[in-house]
C-alpha cells in the first residue's frame, strides 16, 4: 500500500468561528495541522491586539487535551487602523493584518472602503515585517462576480505593490490565472494561498444540475481553464510561491441551505487528504510536502514543524455531516462521498 510521510503541514488561512462552533471545528484542524493562520472576521471583528489575544486564549482553551497546535493570530484591517496599531501588533506577536474590502465576503461589513488612504499603515507593515493578507476582489456592483479578482489586480493590487514595494503580501485563496500570473511575476515579497476547492472544482460544480449551496464560496468558483492554471502553478517551476490555505469556513447546514447566501466550504475534516488527491492527480505528489509544510512557514519566517504525518493511499468515506454545536449540523467538503487518501493518526 502506498504511503507518504511529510512534515506536519500548516493551514495558512483558516476560519474557526467562536463559541460552540469553535469547539466543534477546531479538533479537525488540530489533529493534522501544526499551526494555522486564524482569520479575524468574527462578529464583532478582531480589530485590536486585546481582541486577538483574547481570541487566542479561547482557541487554546478549546483544544483537545495534549494538542500541540498553535494558532497564529491576525487583525482585521479597517479604515481606522493606524501605524501605531501595526507596531503594537508586531510587539504582541500578531503575524498579519487581513484586508477584507467592505462587503466582499462573510462578516466583511467593517472592511476597508479605500485602501489607498491606508498607505501609511501599509508602509508601517513593511517596516515591521508584518504580513498583509489580501482578499483580492473589488465589490463594485457593476463588476461581474466572476471578474472581481482580475479587476482587483489592476485597480488595487498592482498600484499598492508599486507604492509600497517592500510590503510582504499573501494573495489569499487565489482563483484565477490572472492571480497566479501576478504572483509568479512579482518579487519574493508576494506569495499566495490556494484552497482545495479552487484546485478541485470549477463553476460547473456549483451551478450545473441546480445550485449546490455547499459549493458556494467567495471568491466564487471559476472556469475550468482557471482551475487548471492554479494546479499548474502549485506544481510548477514557481511552486515555492504558493502554499496551503484551506479557507475552511464553517456554516451550519440550515444556514447554507436557504436564501442567506452563506459563502464558505468546510474542508478542515479532510484537508491534507484532499490536497494529496490534487497533487497525485497532477503527477506531483513529490511536491505536496513543500506546498503544505515548507513554503508557508518560510514565507511567514517560521521554522518547519518538528513532527511528521503519514498519509496512506486508502479511500475513506467522509461523514455526510458533523455536529456544529447548539444542535446544528455542518456539511463537510466531499460529505457523503470519499477521498482517496487517509491520514494514519
**Distance (Å) of CA 12 to CA 38, 133, 155, 233, 261:** 8, 10, 26, 17, 25
11-15, 150-154, 294-298, 326-330: least confidently modelled range = 326-330
Question: The cell 499598492 sits on which residue?
Answer: 160
Is residue 144 part of the annotated active site? The answer reads no
State the Cα–Cα distance between residues 39 and 245, nearest whole angstrom.
Answer: 11
Residue list, annotated binding site: 13, 15-17, 41, 98, 135, 173, 218, 247, 251, 263
Q: Work out the average pLDDT over 27-38.
A: 98
Q: In the structure, what pLDDT confidence band is assigned to residue 3 with cuts at 50, 70 and 90?
A: very high
Q: Retrieve residue 303's grid coordinates.
A: 521554522
Instruction: Convert the pLDDT of each residue in 195-230 to its tens digit.
Output: 999 999 999 999 999 999 999 999 999 999 999 999
Catalytic member of 11, 147, 247, 328: 247
- CA 329 remoteness from chain centre: 22
Calculate the CA dihedral of residues 92, 97, 102, 108 and round it to 10 degrees.
-60
Express each pLDDT in 274-283 by its tens digit.
999 999 999 9
**What are the tens digits of pLDDT across the range 225-251?**
999 999 999 999 999 999 999 999 999
Neighbours of 217 (CB within 10 A): 24
Task: Give the mean pLDDT of the chain.
Answer: 96
**pLDDT over 70 (residue 12):** yes
pLDDT for the residue numbered 104: 64
Q: What would the grid cell of residue 39 be?
A: 482569520
328 neighbors 254 (Cβ within 8 angstroms): yes
Sorted by where each begins, the domain ranges of the chain are 3-344
- Determine whether domain 3-344 maps to CATH 1.10.10.10: no
pLDDT digits (tens, 9 = 90+) for 70-98: 999 999 999 999 999 999 999 999 999 99
Q: What is the pLDDT at residue 97?
A: 98
- Please answer whether residues 268 and 29 qualify as being in contact, where contact means their C-beta atoms are separated by less than 8 angstroms: yes
Residue 261: predicted pLDDT: 73
Here the cell at position 273 is: 487528504
Average pLDDT over residues 160-168: 98
Judge whether 33 and 69 are in contact, CB under 8 Å. Answer: yes
Digit-coded pLDDT (tens) for 268-308? 999 999 999 999 999 999 999 999 999 999 999 999 999 99
Amino acid at each position: 500500500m502506498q504511503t507518504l510521510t511529510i512534515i506536519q503541514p500548516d493551514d495558512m488561512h483558516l476560519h474557526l468561528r467562536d463559541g460552540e462552533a469553535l469547539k466543534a471545528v477546531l479538533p479537525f484542524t488540530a489533529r493534522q495541522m501544526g499551526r494555522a493562520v486564524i482569520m479575524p472576521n468574527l462578529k464583532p471583528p478582531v480589530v485590536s491586539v486585546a481582541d486577538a489575544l483574547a481570541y487566542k486564549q479561547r482557541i487554546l482553551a478549546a483544544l483537545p487535551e495534549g494538542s500541540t497546535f498553535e494558532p497564529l493570530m491576525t487583525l482585521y484591517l479597517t479604515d481606522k487602523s493606524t501605524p501605531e496599531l501595526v507596531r503594537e501588533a508586531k510587539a504582541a506577536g500578531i503575524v498579519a493584518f487581513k484586508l477584507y474590502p467592505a462587503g466582499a465576503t462573510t462578516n466583511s461589513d467593517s472592511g476597508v472602503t479605500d485602501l489607498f488612504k491606508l498607505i501609511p499603515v501599509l508602509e508601517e507593515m513593511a517596516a515591521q515585517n508584518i504580513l498583509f493578507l489580501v482578499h483580492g476582489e473589488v465589490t463594485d456592483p457593476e463588476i461581474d462576480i466572476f471578474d472581481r479578482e482580475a479587476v482587483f489586480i489592476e485597480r488595487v493590487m498592482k498600484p499598492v505593490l508599486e507604492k509600497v514595494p517592500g510590503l510582504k503580501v499573501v494573495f489569499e485563496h487565489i482563483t484565477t490565472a490572472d492571480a497566479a500570473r501576478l504572483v509568479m511575476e512579482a518579487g519574493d515579497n508576494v506569495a499566495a494561498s490556494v484552497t482545495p476547492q479552487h484546485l478541485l472544482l470549477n463553476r460547473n460544480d456549483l451551478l450545473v444540475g441546480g445550485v449546490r449551496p455547499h459549493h458556494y464560496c467567495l471568491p466564487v468558483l471559476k472556469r475550468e481553464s482557471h482551475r487548471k492554471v492554479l494546479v499548474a502553478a502549485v506544481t510548477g517551476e514557481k511552486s515555492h510561491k504558493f502554499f496551503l490555505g484551506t479557507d475552511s469556513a464553517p456554516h451550519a447546514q440550515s444556514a447554507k441551505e436557504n436564501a442567506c447566501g452563506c459563502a464558505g466550504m468546510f474542508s478542515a475534516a479532510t484537508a491534507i487528504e484532499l490536497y494529496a488527491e490534487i497533487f497525485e492527480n497532477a503527477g506531483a505528489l513529490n511536491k505536496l510536502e513543500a506546498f503544505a509544510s515548507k513554503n508557508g512557514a518560510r514565507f511567514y519566517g517560521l521554522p518547519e514543524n518538528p513532527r511528521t504525518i503519514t498519509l496512506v493511499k486508502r479511500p475513506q468515506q467522509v461523514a455526510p455531516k458533523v455536529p456544529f454545536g447548539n444542535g446544528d449540523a455542518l456539511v463537510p467538503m466531499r460529505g457523503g462521498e470519499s477521498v482517496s487518501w487517509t491520514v494514519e493518526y
